[in-house]
Every structure is written in C-alpha cells, then in structure tokens.
Amino acid sequence: MRKFIILILLSLNLVQICFAIEKINDFPSEKEYFNQPEDKINIAEGALIIARGYYPELDIHAYIRQIETMTNTLKVKLKNTEKASDTVRVINNYFLTEKQFKSQNNIHFLNELLDKKCGNCVALASLYLAVAERLNLPFYGVFAPNHVFIRYEDKNAKINIDVASQGQIFADSWIVKKLNINPASVKKGVYLRNLNKKEFFAGLLNNRGVACKQNAKYDQAIASYTSAIEMFPEYADAWFNRGIAFKDTKQNDKAIQDFSKAVAIDPAHNRAYNNRGNIYIRQKRYDLAIADFSNCIRIAPDYALAYLNRGTAYNVNGQYNKAISDFNKTLKLDPDNFVACIKKALSCEKVGCTKEAIEAYKKFIKYAPSQYANYVKQAENRIKQLETVASFQ
C-alpha cells in the first residue's frame, strides 16, 4: 500500500512538472508572435519572447506577474495625477528611487533587469514601456544613434526621458547636438520619432545580437540583427552591428554592404565609415580606406581612432609624412596611445627622421602594456641602433 501511495505521489509530481513546462512554453514562437498585427502584441510579452531566444527556459509568466504587480502599484500612485510632468516624475521616482533600477551596459534583457535591478538603455526602456502600455499612458520608444530613450507625448505635452541617465529630461535639440545627429536622418524618420511597437522590438532584437556577439555566438548574433533589419529596414545601427559581426568573421564583402547601407540611412554614421575603411585596408584598397577615414574625421573630428586608422592607410600606401601627421593628431587626442607611438616611429624611420623615431619608440616603451614585452624589447634594441647611427651623422 505504501509503495502504491508513493507511486501516486510521484505521478502527481510528474504531472505538475509537465504542466509547469507546458505553461512556460505556451507562448507562440518568435516568428508567429511578431507576424501578428500590432494590436495583438504587447511590449512585455514581446520583450520576454525575444529574451527567450537567448534564455530558452525562460518562464515568461513569472516575469509578467512582476510587471503586473508594478503596474498595479503605479496605478495607485498615479490616481490623482493630471499633469504629464507629474506622471513622468511619479514613474521615474518609482522605478529609479523606490525600486532602485540602475543603468548597466552589459545587461541586455527585461528578465535580467528584473532579476538584477540594472540594465542597459534598451532593457530599461522596455520596462517603462511595458508598464506604461498596461496603464494606457502615451509613452513611446525613440531611437538615437546607438541609443534608445523614451518619450511621453500627447496633444498637450512632449517629454523626452533618458532612462539610462537617471530619468534625465531633455529637449530634442540637446541630444541632436550631443550625439551629432544628422538633421536629414531626423527628417526622414531614422531618429527621434516615436516608434511603433514592432520598430521598438527591432531595438530589442538588435540588443540580443549585441549580447550574442559579446559571447562570440556570431551565427546567433547575425540572425538577431537580420531579424531586427526585417522588422525595421531603416534601422542604421542594426545594419552597422551586423556589419561588425560579418567583419569579425572575415565576411568582408557582406560587411562592406552592411556598412554602406548604414551610411546610406544615416550619412553621419562615423563608425560605419571607420569600420568600412578598416576592411578596405585588409583588401589593400587604400584610397577607398583613406576616403572613409576622412569622412569619419569630417563627422567626428575628435575621434582619435579614425586618425590612427587613416595614418595606417597612409603608411602602407607609402605616404609617410601624412601618416606621421595623423599619428601626431592621434597622440594629441589620446596621449597614451602606444599603437600610434610605434606606428609613428616606423613612419619616421621611413623618411629619415631619426630623432623623432627615437622619441616615438621611447613613448611606446613607456605606454605599452605588459603583454607587449617582446615588442618593448625590440623597440629598446632599435633605439640603440638608431642612436648609434645618429652618432655618426
């Protein structure tokens, strides 16, 4: 009899486990879910279904319950709120002060945010929007270059909120200046307009691609970026990020195509020019590389890496004086850049500037990290050789 009872209990536990597993997986596939019309999808479910693509065993229901609890709490807090500014203040205070959610770049998903109380701009925006949607408040996701913020907008008010900067309120003109956003890209709706839900989900798919790439899951990263592009074809950052994944996996022609698409959408996408230029160097297409780095510098004149890369292109193209000029500019912007030091030294040798070469080698020795000990030793030997030569001149 005792064995019989134990068997019944085990059977019941098995049924409960099977039921739990079935419940976890009762949401449709990603493709099925996002093929539905906008009015059939919501931010919380969509964000968690995208997260499930990274965490296959994710219990979506458990996280939705947390979101519903927060929604009910905010419903009470907002009961007597009428002004848009007060609504934003109450919500900011709840999430950022009471719940103590914080910004952290390497936390990508809504479930991670809820578990760890920190997340990047996309994760934080998805939480705000998931709750706001349940409260029927007019909040929207908004793209800026390599960034996401949210906006409250109705017929009486428009309030931009940077959830990754402690709920900072700012005007469109401020972020245009800060991020050097191309006005033409704003005018054609690439940046700073209210996103619909599927466009915002493209941001979450792009975000998943970043998480996959950081863990060297390149096939999954490329698939996520591709899904983002399919959902929002004018999403410059998704094209750029897929280009980076192609570049890292030596799929150079595909990378060039994606970087070219990124700059076609956003002519001020300086990082796309810079990375396309690096591929042109790989392909020994030095004039194209120099043109791309020059475009990058035109857009972002204080971007030290672009000067370093253009100097590299000049150097391998035999234009040593121009290379030295760019390495000097790199070092003005980034004085500890040991790569610029060694490259400057080599270019100086090519044009017979022995004294300048020796000084550059010495700076390389000073700034090079410990893992470059062999190169440091070579630089020390080269200084001795050059000093010997100089003594006879």
DSSP string, 239-307: HHHHHHHHHHTT-HHHHHHHHHHHHHH-TT-HHHHHHHHHHHHHTT-HHHHHHHHHHHHHH-TT-HHHH
C-alpha–C-alpha distance, residues 358 and 58, integer Å: 58
Q: Tokens representing 157?
A: 């008010």
Query: Model pTM?
Result: 0.89
In which residue are the tokens 């997986």 written?
A: 25
Say if residues 246 and 273 touch (Cβ distance below 8 Å): no
How much of the chain is helix, strand and coil, in % rounded to 5? 70, 5, 25
The pLDDT assigned to 26 comes to 79
The burial of 193, by beta-carbon neighbours within 10 Å (0-12 exposed, 13-18 middle, 19 or more buried), is given as: middle
How do the pLDDT tens digits run along the chain, 393 residues long? 555 555 554 554 554 444 444 445 578 999 999 999 999 999 999 999 999 999 999 999 999 999 999 999 999 999 989 899 999 999 999 999 999 999 999 999 999 999 999 999 999 999 999 999 999 999 999 999 999 999 999 999 999 999 999 999 999 999 999 888 988 889 989 999 999 999 999 999 999 999 999 999 999 999 999 999 999 999 999 999 999 999 999 999 999 999 999 999 999 999 999 999 999 999 999 999 999 999 999 999 999 999 999 999 999 999 999 999 999 999 999 999 999 999 999 999 999 999 999 999 999 999 999 999 999 999 999 999 998 877 666
Write down the pLDDT at residue 21.
Answer: 44
Domain limits of the chain? 21-197
Nearest C-alpha neighbor of 390 from the set 360, 364, 362, 353: 353
Tell the residue number behind the tokens 């693509």, with chain if given: 53
Instruction: State the burial class of residue 50 (Cβ atoms within 10 Å of its Cβ: 0-12, 13-18, 19+).
Output: buried
Contact of 231 with 202, CB cutoff 8 Å: yes
Cα 254 from chain centroid (whole Å): 20
For residue 141, the 8-state DSSP code is E
Residue 301's pLDDT is 95
Q: What confidence score (pLDDT) does residue 393 get? A: 61
Give the model confidence (pLDDT) of 187-216 as tens digits. Answer: 989 999 999 999 999 999 999 999 999 999
pLDDT (0 to 100) of residue 19: 42
Contacts of 50 by beta carbon, 8 Å cutoff, 6+ apart: 30, 109, 201, 204, 205, 208
One-letter identity of residue 38: E
Q: Residue 182: its pLDDT value, please?
A: 86
